[in-house]
Amino acid sequence: MSKHMTRKATRHVNQNEGLIFEKSSPGKAAWKLPPLDVPDVDTSKLLGSFERKTLGNMPEVSEIEIIRHFTRLSTWNYAIDLGMYPLGSCTMKYNPRVNEVVSRLDGIANGHPYQPEKISQGALRIIKTLSDCLLEITGMDAITLQPAAGAHGEFTGLLMVRAHHESKGTARKKILIPDSAHGTNPATAAMVGYAVENLKSNSKGMVEIAALQSQMNEDVAALMLTNPNTLGIFEQEIHKVADILHAKGGLLYMDGANMNALVGKVRPGELGVDVMHLNLHKTFSTPHGG
Ligand SMILES: Cc1ncc(COP(=O)(O)O)c(C=O)c1O
């Protein structure tokens, strides 16, 4: 990379901030309360053995040092106002700000996984409603909202593929990937520990059925089909592709990152797709990383 490119690639973010502990010096304090007109409380009675005798290793800094430190750190947060997002990069580059406002609502942004169920009902309802809608749209049987992006969804999906085969007593070795697939597909397969085998497209830019027939065997765990594929073409013989895989115990994975092109037209679950992911930050314009 040239000097010029390095400068350009890093100019949005300033990461020259040291630790707040490095600014600490004994006796410095950000704020001291003035004498208060309230009776003293015996804290040892209130807290018993939980009362701290010392504050331990805490930085001692002035108010302005704290403000500047955290303000500078906040510039490390990459934001759409600073540059292009590398997530969902190939289609949507801008998602409505109003969706970010919604995701920042207190009940959503401040929810905690260990929060008692009783006070998590609103969040659980959102999760359930969203899951039901996505199942209706995709025609699949079950869903997880855990993965944070497309490639993460692929990784989760392929771990499920592997678990499926292991439960049948054989892990299988390969994933078939058409040459029109999205680049994250072979990367995911390799990360899950599979060998990647390339599958040629036909003259129309779709999966070449004859090639699939000859390459499919009991070593193949799944085929990862990007639809519409990276050439922008809709695969037309998905039923056939699914049948060929299923006949030899393989699974059909669909990369549904660009499901916006299919919503309301066709449900992948009815095409014979076994596992798929959606990019909510693309098809449904949620904030990135959803
Ligand atoms: C077809 C396809 N698959 C996977 C991905 C990866 O998604 P993400 O960038 O959210 O990891 C993308 C887009 O970026 C995509 O277009």
pLDDT band at 6 (very low <50, low <70, confident <90, very high): very low
Averaged pLDDT of the chain: 89
3-state helix, strand, coil in the chain (%, to 5): 40, 10, 50
286 lines ligand 1 (CB under 6 A): no
pLDDT of 90 strictly over 90: no
**Dihedral over Cα of 92, 135, 229, 177: its sign:** positive
Query: Considering only CA atoms, which residue is closest to atom 8 of ligand 1?
Result: 150
CB 290 less than 6 A from any atom of ligand 1: no
Residue bearing tokens 């992948």: 268
Ligand 1: which of 78, 89, 285 to mutate, judged by most atoms within 8 Å of the beta carbon? 89
Domains and CATH numbers, the chain: 3-74 (no CATH), 121-283 (3.40.640.10)
Q: CA 140 to CA 134: how far, in whole Å?
A: 8
Cα of 153 vs centre of ligand 1, distance in Å, is 9
Q: Is the pLDDT of residue 82 over 80?
A: no
Is pLDDT above 60 for 165? yes
Ligand 1 neighbour 148 (Cβ under 6 A)? no
CA of 282 to the centre of ligand 1 (A): 9
DSSP letter, residue 37: S
Task: Report the pLDDT value the prediction gives residue 35, as an integer from 0 to 100.
Answer: 85
Q: Out of 107-121, 188-202, 204-218, 275-289, which region has the weakest mean confidence (pLDDT)?
A: 275-289
Q: Is the CB of 277 under 6 A from ligand 1?
A: no
Residue 188 CB: number of other CB atoms within 10 A? 28
Residue 226 near ligand 1, beta carbon < 6 Å: yes
- 195-199/174-178 β-pairing: parallel
- pLDDT score at 7: 47
Please give the model's pTM, rounded to 2 decimal places: 0.75
Residue 268 CB contacts under 8 Å (≥ 6 apart), including other chains: 138, 139, 140, 227, 254, 256, 259, 262, 276
Neighbours of 169 (CB within 10 A): 6
